[in-house]
Amino acid sequence: MSLLAAAAAVSIAPIASGQERTEFEQQAREIYRNVVEVRSARGHENVPKIVDYVVGELKAAGFSDDDIEVTDYDNDGEATQGLVVWYRSPDPQDKPIALLAHMDVVDALAEDWVREPYTLIEEEGYFFGRGTADNKYGVTSLVATFIRLKEEGFEPTRDLVMVLSGDEETGMVSTRAQANWVAEEVDPAFVLNADAGGLSLGPDGEPLDYGVQGAEKTYATFELTVTNPGGHSSAPRADNAIYELADALKKIEAYKFPVRYNDLTLASIEAAGRKRLDQLGNAQRAFAADPTDEDAIEVLRANPATVGQIGTTCIATMLRAGHAENALPQSATATVNCRIFPGVGIEATEATLKDVVANEDVQFKLISDLVESPESGMRDDVLAAVQTALEARGVTDVEIIPHMSAGGTDGMHYRNLGYDTYGVGGAAAKQNDTFAHGLNERLLVSSFYDGLDHFYVILKELAGPQEG
Ligand SMILES: [Zn+2]
């Protein structure tokens, strides 16, 4: 089904471009403009401006001081804030739902962009601007939905707690603290993240499938260092820091981490395979049917797009060594970045690397500080709510596919604490629309409006009075 057909199927509003938008759509667009136009990147300390603005809008809609909590955080010397908003149930029947998005962005430099990065520009069927996709659409969706539900007098059957972080793209200081706070004060049944998942579109805008992020790989970076007394290069010693480090790296290069899989990765690999008839597709389908199939494993390992889906990967990314062209190196250091399969763990991965290197002279140092996160088992109620939200926007014939992403969203901190977390964003994007963190970030205008009901429907499904 084309997006135009999808839009036509939605009866609540004239959505075709050029037509009048509903009051809610205009209000959401205004929220979007206001949050995109704040340069909330590290180095600018502007997150509090977004918090102020959003709090003002929420209060105007009827949220009280008791419902709103603003917290200051120090992200490595830089002030940022987090915002928590309670949408309370008069008579909770169930544990709460926590909802996540982040207010900060990766910085963008105006001179590198075709258009002003911190002005919301509508052009060629797109909204352009830093954060239009990652993650100010998520912020807008959640805030606009809370306001809309409040103004309608919606009474949820369980508490809904919106948690907006202020440094997801850098230190995750706010994320970490908020996740701990949510565990203690909210103890939700599960967590929905607006910063992951979404509808993928084909080149002509036709919906292909909807991805639910249910797991993230664990990000871990090690430095491997070899030191040596050194000396003059005219009188070489038998041992050499650079050669020793190079040996270690060649061993890591040759090593293949064991194949790993879980229900979620098998389902997503199978679904990806069904869409293609080439060698890769055959291998994906074969692997999903039998994860010990050596031929399939070989094909998936050889492809950069799939190698990370079937196990842990560790790869050398940076190198520094020596101090003069005529001196023996006193030290050599390599950076090795690992993407660890859920359930394996950072310590076990370090132990494996040490076994592989088998040289006590190589010192290992973990230089990243991200947490491990297990995969979240899929919930029928969440999947059904997403399905209903898709149908409400006229998307009836796409598959909902759980997936594991490379890692790096707020969700991992909640999974780390034992809360099932699902990336279920409302945006739709074509393959080549993904400019998050990059230049000329954009979001389809049609996707912006089509996705505005997404969380509205999901929350009514999961926290609304059950009919019949
Ligand atoms: Zn993000």
User: What six digits make up the tokens of 38?
Assistant: 């704040």
User: pLDDT at position 212, please?
Assistant: 96
Q: How much of the chain exceeds pLDDT 70, in percent?
A: 95
Indicate whether 4 pLDDT > 90: no
Distance (angstroms) between ligand 1 centre and the Cα of 111 equals 23
Distance (angstroms) between ligand 1 centre and the Cα of 348 equals 28
Distance (angstroms) between ligand 1 centre and the Cα of 195 equals 5
Q: Does domain 23-216+373-463 have CATH number 1.20.1300.10?
A: no
Is the separation of the CB atoms in 100 and 165 below 8 Å? yes
Q: How far is CA 94 from CA 155, 190, 278, in A?
A: 13, 11, 47
Q: Tokens 């340069």 label which residue?
A: 39
Residues 6+ apart with CB under 8 A from 7: 15, 16, 394, 446, 449, 450
> Which protein residues have their CB within 5 A of the ion that is ligand 1?
134-135, 195
* pLDDT tens-digit map of 267-288: 999 999 998 899 999 999 999 9
pLDDT bin (cut points 50, 70, 90) of residue 342 is very high
Calculate Rg over the CA atoms of the chain. 24
DSSP 377-431: PP-HHHHHHHHHHHHHTT--S-EEEEEEESS-STHHHHHHTT--EEE----EEEG
Distance CA 47, CA 211 (A): 29
Is the separation of the CB atoms in 458 and 149 below 8 Å? no
User: pLDDT at position 260, please?
Assistant: 97
* 332 strand-pairing partners: 226, 321
Distance (angstroms) between ligand 1 centre and the Cα of 31 equals 18
Q: How far is CA 234 from CA 37, 57, 382, in A?
A: 60, 72, 68
User: pLDDT at position 18, please?
Assistant: 55
pLDDT bin (cut points 50, 70, 90) of residue 436 is low
Distance (angstroms) between ligand 1 centre and the Cα of 190 equals 19
Q: Which residues of 444-465 are buried (b: 16+ CB within 10 A; e: fewer)?
A: bbbbbbbbbbbbbbbbbbbbbe
Q: Which class is domain 218-258+312-371?
A: alpha beta
Query: Exposed, middle or buried: residue 128 (CB in 10 Å: 0-12, 13-18, 19+)?
Result: buried
User: pLDDT at position 70, please?
Assistant: 98
* pLDDT tens-digit map of 288-335: 999 999 999 999 999 999 999 999 999 999 999 999 999 999 999 999
Distance (angstroms) between ligand 1 centre and the Cα of 134 equals 5
Indicate whether 167 pLDDT > 70: yes
* pLDDT tens-digit map of 117-157: 999 999 999 999 999 999 999 999 999 999 999 999 999 99
Q: How far is CA 30 from CA 35, 36, 72, 97, 144, in A?
A: 9, 10, 26, 26, 10
| Sign, CA torsion 22/27/31/36 | positive
Distance (angstroms) between ligand 1 centre and the Cα of 268 equals 21
CATH 3.40.630.10 domain residues, the chain: 23-216+373-463
Distance CA 36, CA 188 (A): 29
Distance (angstroms) between ligand 1 centre and the Cα of 196 equals 7
Distance (angstroms) between ligand 1 centre and the Cα of 136 equals 9
Distance (angstroms) between ligand 1 centre and the Cα of 15 equals 27
Eight-class DSSP state of 20: P
* Mean of pLDDT over the chain: 93
User: What six digits make up the tokens of 57?
Assistant: 């809008």
Going by C-alpha positions, the residue among 53, 23, 52 that lies closest to residue 148 is: 23
Distance (angstroms) between ligand 1 centre and the Cα of 169 equals 7
Distance (angstroms) between ligand 1 centre and the Cα of 92 equals 31
Mean pLDDT of 259-265: 95
Distance (angstroms) between ligand 1 centre and the Cα of 57 equals 23
User: pLDDT at position 172, please?
Assistant: 94
Give start and end residues of each alpha helix (H) in 37-183. 47-60, 136-152, 173-181
Distance (angstroms) between ligand 1 centre and the Cα of 8 equals 30
Indicate whether 94 pLDDT > 80: yes
User: pLDDT at position 1, please?
Assistant: 33
Mean pLDDT of 87-92: 97
User: pLDDT at position 349, please?
Assistant: 97
* 99 strand-pairing partners: 162, 192
User: pLDDT at position 224, please?
Assistant: 98
User: pLDDT at position 331, please?
Assistant: 98
User: pLDDT at position 369, please?
Assistant: 86
CATH 3.30.70.360 domain residues, the chain: 218-258+312-371
Distance CA 22, CA 13 (A): 6
* pTM strictly above 0.75: yes
3-state secondary structure of 204: coil
User: pLDDT at position 251, please?
Assistant: 98
Distance (angstroms) between ligand 1 centre and the Cα of 325 equals 43
Indicate whether 8 pLDDT > 80: no
User: pLDDT at position 467, please?
Assistant: 62
Going by C-alpha positions, the residue among 11, 76, 1 that lies closest to residue 45 is: 76
Is the separation of the CB atoms in 171 and 465 below 8 Å? no
Mean pLDDT of 54-64: 98
One-letter amino acid identity for 196? A
User: What six digits make up the tokens of 155?
Assistant: 């009474």
Mean pLDDT of 68-78: 96
Distance CA 18, CA 76 (A): 46
Going by C-alpha positions, the residue among 191, 58, 44, 59 that lies closest to residue 104 is: 44
Indicate whether 9 pLDDT > 70: no
User: pLDDT at position 408, please?
Assistant: 82
Say how many Å lie between the first and final Cα of the chain, rounded. Answer: 31
One-letter amino acid identity for 257? F
Indicate whether 401 pLDDT > 90: yes
